[in-house]
Chains A and B, each alone.
Chain A
Amino acid sequence: MIKGKKLQAPGQHVFLTGFSAIILGLLAGAVLMALIGRNPFSGYLYLFRGGLMNIKRIGDTMATATMLILVGLSVGFSFKTGLFNIGGAGQMLMGGLAATFVAHRMNLPRPLLLVMIIFFGLLAGAVWGIIPGFLKARFNVHEVVATIMMNWIAYWVVYYIVPAHLKGPSLETESMSIPAGNSLRMEWLSRLFNGSYINLGIFIAIAAVLIIKFILDRTTLGFELKTVGSNRFCAEYAGIKVNRDIIISMMISGGLAGLAGMAYYTGYSLNVQIGVMPSQGFDGIAVALLGASTPLGILLSGLFFGLLQAGKGFMNAMTKVPPEIADTIIAIIIYFTATSSLFLRFFVRWSKRRENVRQEKAMAASRKEDV
């Protein structure tokens, strides 16, 4: 059986682990490009240019990072409580579906409509997260399997609800588009970034980072959740209501993924496609791991993975390297983050050896002085 555990690397080595994982991931990506006879240097050049070369592309990178940051927060938050929320995809789908309904059906002034879109996206994701949370707390059902089941339930719900209630004019497989005036896109923002599809979602993501940081660092709830995550039995002994905290943690985690779905479907794509699991739901795991589950780390790693994702299309157009190289690099980075103990061991051995050399020198020097 899969055991819940504290899923992060120890303290001060976090940055080092993340950094070396990135380097190794990029190196492995270079090898893969070279193996199929492409030039890795031009591959990476176009990959990064695709994400950064002008103000529009920077905007697009941030728009892509929006969902990654929010799902990353979702996964990272549940990690802190010792839970592994692998249900980001399903929570995104439900959050997005609810938000899309609001955007199409509620006739409200713009500011109020936006509030409702955000609220219902959050709510639907939270509901989708609270179910596995409850099953875990009450019946000891492992959250990994439960959230995977919830993903598929969401997949089929969207598959049948969208054509029945939100059918687009031409295609059976997607909902009708949300008019720009009902979406998260803002004219001033798009103009500022030269026609990019950046939208209000990025501000929601940044706000979420700050709020989650506040909850984790400054509130009793955050302290309790972290305690449950580091030692469930100790927390129970200290009188913390562990089961209640598990449900709350999964609710907040699901709500964050719901926000990601809301940002994706009402700010980024402006419609819901059926038969597609949003891949950000899984990429969020990578974001959380690389960011060591800390809100600021997740913000940075979300931006980095957003850069890879946003740049891959341009690279593919310019060099014939398949765009999946970006996902491959991300996966390799995660593998190396998971095996971080290897680097830590190397680092510890290396710094010990340096320490030994230093001590020997110092001893030798003091011996000389004695003579």
Chain B
Amino acid sequence: MWHIITLVFPYAIAYTIPMLVTALGGLYSERSGVTNLGLEGLMLVGYFACALFIRSFESSFYAWALPLGLLTGMLAGALFSLLHAFASINLRADQTISGTAINMLAAALTVYLARVFSGSGNIRIMMGIVRSDVPVLSKIPVLGPLFFSQTYWSTWLVLAIWGASWWFLYKTSFGLRLRACGEHPSAVASAGVNVRLMRYFGVVMSGALAGLGGGAILITYSGEFNGSVAGLGFLSIAALIFGQWKPLGILGATFFFGLATTVANVSQAIPQLAVIPPMYLKIFPYVVTLIALVVFSKRSAAPRASGIPF
């Protein structure tokens, strides 16, 4: 059993990371007061831009292609999120609908452009991150094989962003103002803070981080852009609610989804799990999400002004 756990764990973490960073992006947006239902689309844009960049430059930039590709994905996500920011902040559009439009637009536009560049609508890259053991730490018994063996460097990057975000949102005055914009924007405005600018910042951060999430899918386990992030963006939104709009909660919720999905994916190879019909394992994360929502929604800790135009 232990052997199986050490085998499954790295995959679970690889699967968790894109959701974690995307949900973290959603946190910035919601905390600033803008609901962002378009995370799935923003991930897709980052996924596409990252693939296009790496495909174009991997033969000339070599090892630099991957980090620069991730950066391109973040930029593309940030730029695309401006559509949502403009609609919901300046035009006071319905944010749920604007987010849905972002998702539809990203899904159609990325495949449209991918067809133009590659003919088939898929963009395959040659490179990917090589997994490596973290020196020293991977030798620790129990923890070493679980967390520090065969890891992607992008995992550590995202965890660092997660830590920095926690510090930024909870320990700096800028973070405090940002969170206040999501709770009581008129109070913040009367204190002389530009609420619209803060909200722009929140939405653009969500675009950049979701774009990074899409890029992380590409360079870790997928290896090609195929026009879909398979609902991970929506799961990130669910994780945001499940995790009660808090960094630690999001970490736990996304890891739970990552683990549950990985277990469902590898269940046929594991005798102890193969007795359970795969259908039950596949629907397990979604059913548990519904149950978790039932438990948490009564006393929801959602930012109070999120979704309301200012």
Contacts from A to B (Cβ < 8 Å): 1-3, 5, 7, 32, 36, 84, 86, 135, 139-142, 144-146, 148-153, 156-157, 159-161, 282-283, 285-286, 289, 322, 324-325, 327-328, 330-332, 334-335, 337-342
In contact, B279 and A160 (Cβ under 8 angstroms) = yes
Tell me whether chain B's interface is mostly helix, strand or loop, or mixed: helix
Picked from A142, A145, A327, the residue with its CB within 8 Å of the CB of B108 is A327
In contact, A335 and B98 (Cβ under 8 angstroms) = yes
Tell me if B161 counts as interface (CB < 8 A to partner A): no
In contact, A153 and B283 (Cβ under 8 angstroms) = yes
Picked from A2, A135, A161, the residue with its CB within 8 Å of the CB of B96 is A2
3 tightest A-B CB contacts, nearest first:
A1-B302, A327-B108, A331-B104
In contact, A322 and B112 (Cβ under 8 angstroms) = yes
Binds A, one of B4-12, B17-25, B172-180, B234-242: B234-242
Tell me if B266 counts as interface (CB < 8 A to partner A): no
Measured between beta carbons, the chain B residues less than 8 angstroms from A332 are 105
Q: What is the minimal beta-carbon distance from A151 to any residue of chain B, in angstroms?
A: 8
Picked from A7, A140, A153, the residue with its CB within 8 Å of the CB of B298 is A140
23 example contacts (A-B, Cβ-Cβ < 8 A) are as follows A1-B306, A2-B35, A32-B109, A141-B290, A141-B293, A144-B96, A148-B234, A157-B279, A160-B278, A282-B104, A283-B104, A285-B97, A286-B104, A322-B116, A324-B109, A327-B107, A328-B112, A330-B108, A334-B100, A335-B101, A338-B93, A338-B97, A338-B101
Measured between beta carbons, the chain A residues less than 8 angstroms from B112 are 32, 322, 324-325, 327-328
Given A32-B112, A152-B231, do A157 and B283 touch, yes or no (CB 8 Å)? Answer: yes
Measured between beta carbons, the chain A residues less than 8 angstroms from B116 are 36, 322
In contact, B93 and A2 (Cβ under 8 angstroms) = no
Count chain A CB atoms within 10 A of each CB in B277, B282, B298 and give the residue with the most: B282
Measured between beta carbons, the chain B residues less than 8 angstroms from A135 are 290, 293-294
Measured between beta carbons, the chain B residues less than 8 angstroms from A340 are 93
**Chain B, Cβ-Cβ closest to A332:** B105
Tell me if B207 counts as interface (CB < 8 A to partner A): no
Measured between beta carbons, the chain A residues less than 8 angstroms from B286 are 149-150, 152-153
Write out, one digit per residue, whether chain B residues 113-124 have a CB within 8 A of any chain A CB (1) or not (0): 001100001000
Tell me if B69 counts as interface (CB < 8 A to partner A): no
In the bound complex, what is the Cα–Cα distance between A283 and B105 (angstroms)? 11
Measured between beta carbons, the chain B residues less than 8 angstroms from A334 are 97, 100-101, 104-105
Count chain B CB atoms within 10 A of each CB in A146, A150, A325 and give the residue with the most: A146
Interface size class of B (residues with CB under 8 A): 35 or more
Write out, one digit per residue, whether chain B residues 271-310 have a CB within 8 A of any chain A CB (1) or not (0): 0000001110011001101100110011010110011100
Picked from A140, A144, A151, A286, the residue with its CB within 8 Å of the CB of B37 is A144
Tell me if B79 counts as interface (CB < 8 A to partner A): no
Given A2-B37, A149-B286, A322-B115, do A139 and B104 touch, yes or no (CB 8 Å)? Answer: no
Q: What is the minimal beta-carbon distance from B27 to any residue of chain A, in angstroms?
A: 13
Measured between beta carbons, the chain A residues less than 8 angstroms from B97 are 7, 285, 289, 334, 337-338
In the bound complex, what is the Cα–Cα distance between A76 and B60 (angstroms)? 52
Measured between beta carbons, the chain B residues less than 8 angstroms from A338 are 87, 93-94, 97-98, 101
Given A338-B94, A339-B91, do A1 and B293 touch, yes or no (CB 8 Å)? Answer: no
In the bound complex, what is the Cα–Cα distance between A335 and B102 (angstroms)? 8
In the bound complex, what is the Cα–Cα distance between A32 and B105 (angstroms)? 13
In the bound complex, what is the Cα–Cα distance between A156 and B279 (angstroms)? 6
Tell me whether chain A's interface is mostly helix, strand or loop, or mixed: helix
In contact, A139 and B294 (Cβ under 8 angstroms) = yes
In contact, B237 and A145 (Cβ under 8 angstroms) = yes
In the bound complex, what is the Cα–Cα distance between A342 and B289 (angstroms)? 37
Measured between beta carbons, the chain A residues less than 8 angstroms from B279 are 156-157, 159-161
In the bound complex, what is the Cα–Cα distance between A2 and B97 (angstroms)? 11
In the bound complex, what is the Cα–Cα distance between A331 and B105 (angstroms)? 5
In the bound complex, what is the Cα–Cα distance between A151 and B101 (angstroms)? 18
In contact, B100 and A324 (Cβ under 8 angstroms) = no
Given A135-B293, A149-B238, A322-B116, do A159 and B35 touch, yes or no (CB 8 Å)? Answer: no
In contact, B287 and A140 (Cβ under 8 angstroms) = no
Given contacts A149-B289, A325-B112, A334-B105, 15 further A-B contacts (CB under 8 A): A1-B35, A1-B300, A3-B308, A5-B94, A146-B293, A149-B238, A151-B231, A152-B283, A159-B282, A160-B278, A327-B108, A334-B101, A335-B102, A335-B105, A341-B93
Q: What is the minimal beta-carbon distance from B38 to any residue of chain A, in angstroms?
A: 10
Measured between beta carbons, the chain B residues less than 8 angstroms from A160 are 277-279, 282
Q: Which of B212-247 contact A (CB under 8 A)?
A: 231, 234, 237-238, 241
In the bound complex, what is the Cα–Cα distance between A342 and B238 (angstroms)? 31
In the bound complex, what is the Cα–Cα distance between A283 and B75 (angstroms)? 28
In contact, B91 and A342 (Cβ under 8 angstroms) = yes
**Chain B, Cβ-Cβ closest to A8:** B94
Q: What is the minimal beta-carbon distance from A7 to any residue of chain B, in angstroms?
A: 6
In contact, A86 and B297 (Cβ under 8 angstroms) = no
In the bound complex, what is the Cα–Cα distance between A332 and B108 (angstroms)? 10
Measured between beta carbons, the chain A residues less than 8 angstroms from B134 are none
In the bound complex, what is the Cα–Cα distance between A283 and B96 (angstroms)? 15
Q: What is the minimal beta-carbon distance from B54 to any residue of chain A, in angstroms?
A: 21
**Chain A, Cβ-Cβ closest to B111:** A324
Tell me if B95 counts as interface (CB < 8 A to partner A): yes
Measured between beta carbons, the chain B residues less than 8 angstroms from A144 are 37, 96
Tell me if B68 counts as interface (CB < 8 A to partner A): no
Q: What is the minimal beta-carbon distance from A269 to any residue of chain B, in angstroms?
A: 20
Q: What is the minimal beta-carbon distance from B257 to any residue of chain A, in angstroms?
A: 11
Measured between beta carbons, the chain B residues less than 8 angstroms from A84 are 96
Measured between beta carbons, the chain A residues less than 8 angstroms from B100 are 86, 282, 285, 334
Tell me if B92 counts as interface (CB < 8 A to partner A): yes
Picked from A141, A161, A283, A330, the residue with its CB within 8 Å of the CB of B294 is A141
Q: What is the minimal beta-carbon distance from B273 to any residue of chain A, in angstroms?
A: 15
